[in-house]
Amino acid sequence: MTVPDSHRNLRTVRSMDLRSALDKAADAVVVPGYTRIGHALRRRGWEPLPDGALEGSTVVVTGATSGLGEAAASRMAALGAGVVIVGRNPDKAEAAGSRIAAAARHGGGVEVEIADLSLMEEIRRLAVRLLGRPRIDVLVNNAGVLLPERRVTAEGNDVTLATNLLGHFLLTNLLVPRLVESAPARIVNVSSGGMYTARISVSNLQNEGDYDGRVAYARTKRGQVILTEMWAERLRGTGVVVHSMHPGWADTPGVEAGIPLFQRVMNPLLRTAEQGADTIVWLAAADEPAGTTGLFWHDREPRPTHRVSRTRETAEQRERLWRALSDLAGWDDPEG
């Protein structure tokens, strides 16, 4: 018996509604949504990215010597992108570059840049080298650390702040002119679901006093989401879109080093790095994200940026954050 088109369409709508309901439920209760369970549930409705989706594009990925950064860079090279990976350790960066090159397809390839992204002077030198390229189509700000003890860089900045937020701020602003020239272009900021627990502390960006590595990390990840929204407004109409995302709970070297007990207890449920990196790649390559800007994504869906009112910042605090980061980075904002 032939099933009428109207019946098939109704079943499709019902299936989509069910997936949407399950997605929202998994996100609300956190654990299923952030683990491999959530990824398995949601990926059933995803359209695959077309082969060669990034062919001819130049993509810069920071923190790409392992984990999410390497997984994202490998996938984007397989989609045809010329990928520039940025790492601090030359040996690790070269090894990761070789692995990524092996995955390259459709004319994609990999170049390696060495820079400590907690040091503003090294970021400036890196930016000069990157700006020597004719175009930058995608910038992925992925470098990050979660440290159990407070450390200070040679420039006097808290390492967590410098690596996770201040460095991203400076590098992005230095590369914005090339991104605009290359438009349509995209900026993807890799945040964390941990940012839901934190409010930005503009008065203590350097994490002085009693130090809690998880709190410091969450604050910087909250800061990334704030900057995403501010860049989106500043770049509106230029052809450059800006998005942030969180990967869920993935089994990466950073998680193992930063929160080892969590890694051991949750290991059976943790996502692979490739699963965690999927939305990074999708934001860089898919058509849908190009039509919006300033959103926070998880598993290819926009998510709220706050769960509770205590994490919300005021417009004045956002402006203070921008000015404070400008001062700490030594960046002269052309917009004043």
If asked whether residues 228 and 316 sit together in one domain, one would say: yes
Return the closest-CA partner of residue 294 out of 188, 199, 205.
188
**Alpha helix positions (H), the chain:** 5-28, 31-34, 36-43, 67-78, 90-103, 120-131, 159-161, 167-181, 213-234, 253-258, 260-266, 273-285, 315-329
**Structural contact between residues 200 and 321, judged by C-beta atoms closer than 8 angstroms:** yes
If asked whether residues 69 and 167 sit together in one domain, one would say: yes
If asked whether residues 30 and 179 sit together in one domain, one would say: no
Q: Is residue 336 part of a domain?
A: no
**Structural contact between residues 294 and 229, judged by C-beta atoms closer than 8 angstroms:** yes
Q: Is residue 6 part of a domain?
A: no
pLDDT in tens, 243-287: 999 999 887 777 767 777 667 767 787 999 999 999 999 999 999
If asked whether residues 29 and 138 sit together in one domain, one would say: no
If asked whether residues 28 and 70 sit together in one domain, one would say: no
If asked whether residues 22 and 85 sit together in one domain, one would say: no
If asked whether residues 192 and 303 sit together in one domain, one would say: yes
Residue 268's pLDDT is 80
- Count of structural domains within the chain: 2
Q: Is residue 41 part of a domain?
A: yes
Q: Which residues contact 278 (CB under 8 A, 6 or more apart)?
A: 39, 43, 75, 299, 300
pLDDT band per the 50, 70, 90 thresholds, residue 177: very high
If asked whether residues 105 and 150 sit together in one domain, one would say: yes
Q: Is residue 7 part of a domain?
A: no
**Residues involved in catalysis:** 217
If asked whether residues 186 and 258 sit together in one domain, one would say: yes
If asked whether residues 59 and 180 sit together in one domain, one would say: yes
CATH number of the domain where residue 239 is located: 3.40.50.720
Q: Is residue 3 part of a domain?
A: no
Q: Is residue 205 part of a domain?
A: yes
pLDDT in tens, 122-171: 999 999 999 999 999 999 999 999 999 999 999 999 999 999 999 999 99
If asked whether residues 175 and 296 sit together in one domain, one would say: yes
Range of the domain at 214: 54-329
Q: Is residue 8 part of a domain?
A: no
Residue 174's pLDDT is 98
Q: Which residues of 190-206 are buried (b: 16+ CB within 10 A; e: fewer)?
A: bbbbbbbbbbbbbeebb
Residue 265's pLDDT is 64
pLDDT band per the 50, 70, 90 thresholds, residue 28: low
Q: Is residue 335 part of a domain?
A: no
If asked whether residues 58 and 41 sit together in one domain, one would say: no
pLDDT band per the 50, 70, 90 thresholds, residue 12: very low
Give, rounded to a whole angstrom, the gap between the first and last alpha carbons of the chain.
Answer: 70
Which of the pair, 99 or 250, is modelled with greater confidence? 99
Please state the pTM of the whole predicted model: 0.91
Q: Could you give phi then psi for residue 188, rounded to 5 degrees?
A: -120, 120
